[in-house]
Amino acid sequence: MTPTDRKLGRPRDASVDAAIVQAVLEVLNEVGLGAMSMDAVAARAGVGKATIYRRWSSKEAMVIDAIASLVASVEVPVTDDIRTDLITLLARLRAFMNDARGGSIFPWLVGEVASGTDVGRHYANAVIIPRRALIGEVIRRAMEIGSLRPDLDVQLAVDMITGPAILLKIMQPLRGVDERWEEKLVDALLQGWQAKTG
């Protein structure tokens, strides 16, 4: 690293990076991956295509980076009541799936994950796995302090919470969403998770 290292010419405009990523998410949200053109992204970002290709080598690389920016800060709820904790987590998950930024992206993102695409793998690692780990942690802690049966299969329990939520999102175009849905699901689950064995 010499002193005069990398200081030639006009420096890159950091705000341009943000504008492009934002544009990718918007267009993705509106038309999906298949119908998203680089011209559309460039136009939305108010940027030349050359500027995009100066940063990413391909459309796919750009999308992967944009998706990775969806990572949300994960924060453990800290109530002493497992019921409200789970309801909070569920509401958060549903809010995330219906997020303005990611709302329409989510459906095809599910397809990407299920198909094992590059984009899908990156999304899974950046978003899904940390969030699942968080929910699992909450459940594990509740098992330790005796709020939940100690013989629960944590992985299965996480599936039992998140599965119906994702299904609800998938079927959204087909039916209305019950209010207080989160409470109903959590109560139904807890009836089994708190019960004495046998």
- Which residues contact a second copy by CB under 8 A? 32-34, 104, 106-108, 110-111, 113-116, 120-121, 124, 128-129, 153, 156-157, 159-160, 162-174, 184-185, 188-193, 195
Task: Check residue 150 for interaction with DNA (CB under 7 A).
Answer: no
Identify which of 86, 98, 96, 93 has the alpha carbon closest to the alpha carbon of residue 183.
86
Identify the H or E element spanning 45.
helix 38-45
Task: Check residue 189 for interaction with DNA (CB under 7 A).
Answer: no
d(CA 165, CA 62): 29
Kindly tell me which residue out of 32, 49, 140, 167 binds DNA, with binding defined by CB under 7 A.
Answer: 49
Query: At its nearest, how many Å lie between DNA and the CB of residue 3?
Result: 6
Identify which of 103, 87, 196 has the alpha carbon closest to the alpha carbon of residue 151.
196
Task: Check residue 173 for interaction with DNA (CB under 7 A).
Answer: no
Contact 86, 155 (CB under 8 A): no
Contact 114, 76 (CB under 8 A): no
Interface with DNA (CB under 7 A), residue total 27
Select the binding partner of residue 87 from DNA, a second copy, none (C-beta < 5 to 8 A, by kind): none
